[in-house]
Amino acid sequence: MTAVRLWLAALVVAGLLATGGASTIMAQDAGVIEGQVTNGTAGASSAADLEIIVHVLKNRQKTGEQHVRTDGAGRFRVDGLATGADMLYFPILEYRGIAYYPDRPVMFDGGPLSRSDITVFETTPTADALSFERLNMLVMAVSPTTLTIMEMGAVTNPGDRTFAADAAVTGSARTLRFPLPPGATQISAQAGLPVDTLETMPDGFATTDPVRPGRREIAFSYQLPYDTANLDLNRVFAFPVGTFTLIVPDEVGGVVASGMALQGSTELGGRPFRQYVAERVSPGSEVRFRLTGLPAPMFGRPRDLGLLVSGIGAVLLAGFLGFTIWRRRARPAPPTTLTLATSADTTEAGRTMTSAPPVPSSQASERQALLEAIARLDEQFAAGELDATAYESQRAEQKTRLLALSAPAAVAR
């Protein structure tokens, strides 16, 4: 009866129902509930001799319950009920292990007699008749790192049997599966998904709650982290979907999707949203789309910052080397060694001028080796093979040695 308690809590205020209470009605009155239980499955047996539990609430808190059984024709009657405006009554019965109840609770706001009918169904272990009439994926909020998403829709069972998964037939007791985008967090059921029936799956979650004939509204929400301005998503559906609608706010720059058409805009909570629609999605197929222009931070990942630092360092080094080469090429070539003398016996009065000594080949080799070492450091850091501390320390050391080799030699006088 856990699902029944959750249903009662959803109809009143969550958490206000007491788990215990008196087993009899504290206040007697002339209120009467008459009802009919019908088996809605074609060719099924009548709903005779079934137990109904009438849950009694006063001021939205459970005060007791009454038990009654249907007669041979499926009729039932409960009398001696209080008729105050603060009283509510919930007739519930279990058939084939599944809870059934009327569309709304009973209130005596039209007199001392009230009617409440309940329809039960036989079960089926397969979901051949199930489909989603519609599914909406609403991007409710956009921050620089996270999307807040609400998915909602209506699942329909047009048959006359309740789908209750049989592990021997389907492999598990799960009835509805909801795959989610990778990385989704803070998943929360909002409507139509009893919490005690939910199970976590590697790619999302599922419910084991039986799917009764008719139409059920469902809704759930989750957070989706991202770190780039473009985000690729795909949705996979286990059942046919009549209409899938993606609804995005202006904070999403654009939507690129094959097979989805822009259906105009709408306002939700005073905010404008755009709608993209895919019609008649077959089971097992994917709907793929890309959200573009998201306000992702410039450096969403630590590695991005490392690549930027590495790139800037390479540009600065190339600029320094280019400037050094340019200066050397722009400098006038010094004269070769000349001896000026007035006569053969006056050579000591001559003046000698010499150019700067050429760079030894060993220094050129060492300079080339240092440049290659710095390039290797940049590649290792960009690939994530070096942490920032080791990278900066080793690079600074190599750069210092390179600058020392690149300093111009002194001019001999």
Interatomic CA distance for residues 55 and 1, integer angstroms: 12
- Render pLDDT for 304-326 as a digit per residue (tens, 0 to 9): 545 555 655 555 656 656 666 65
The answer to pTM > 0.85 is no
Question: Do 392 and 251 lie in a common domain?
Answer: no
Beta-bridge mates of residue 233: 289
Residue 191 maps to a domain: yes
Interatomic CA distance for residues 80 and 29, integer angstroms: 5
Residue 65 maps to a domain: yes
Q: How many CB atoms lie within 10 A of CB 300?
A: 16
The confidence score (pLDDT) of residue 318 equals 62
Residue 263 structural domain: 131-292
Nearest to 105 by CA among 113, 93, 94, 116: 116
Number of domains in the chain: 3
Interatomic CA distance for residues 8 and 103, integer angstroms: 12
Among 120, 139, 169, the domain-final residue is 120
Residue 345 maps to a domain: no
What's 214-261 look like in SS3?
EEEEEEEEEEEECCCCCEEEEEECCCCEEEEEEEEECCCCEEEECCCE
Q: How far is CA 363 from CA 51, 188, 252, 402, 408, in A?
A: 99, 67, 57, 10, 12
Q: Tell me which amino acid residue 224 is.
A: L
The confidence score (pLDDT) of residue 405 equals 65
Positive or negative, the CA dihedral 106, 110, 113, 116 is negative
Q: Tell me which amino acid residue 365 is.
A: S
The confidence score (pLDDT) of residue 368 equals 73
Low-confidence ranges of the chain (pLDDT < 70): 1-28, 298-364, 379, 382-383, 402, 405-413
CATH code, 233: 2.60.40
Question: Do 374 and 392 lie in a common domain?
Answer: yes
Q: How far is CA 169 from CA 127, 175, 178, 249, in A?
A: 11, 12, 20, 43
The confidence score (pLDDT) of residue 4 equals 53
Among 56, 89, 120, the domain-final residue is 120
Positive or negative, the CA dihedral 378, 380, 385, 391 is negative
Question: Do 30 and 71 lie in a common domain?
Answer: yes
DSSP character for 196? G
Interatomic CA distance for residues 222 and 307, integer angstroms: 32
Q: How many CB atoms lie within 10 A of CB 261?
A: 11
Interatomic CA distance for residues 161 and 138, integer angstroms: 32
Nearest to 115 by CA among 126, 124, 105: 105
Among 62, 90, 120, the domain-final residue is 120
Residue 154 maps to a domain: yes
Question: Do 155 and 237 lie in a common domain?
Answer: yes
Strand 241-249 to 131-142 pairing: parallel
Question: Do 207 and 264 lie in a common domain?
Answer: yes
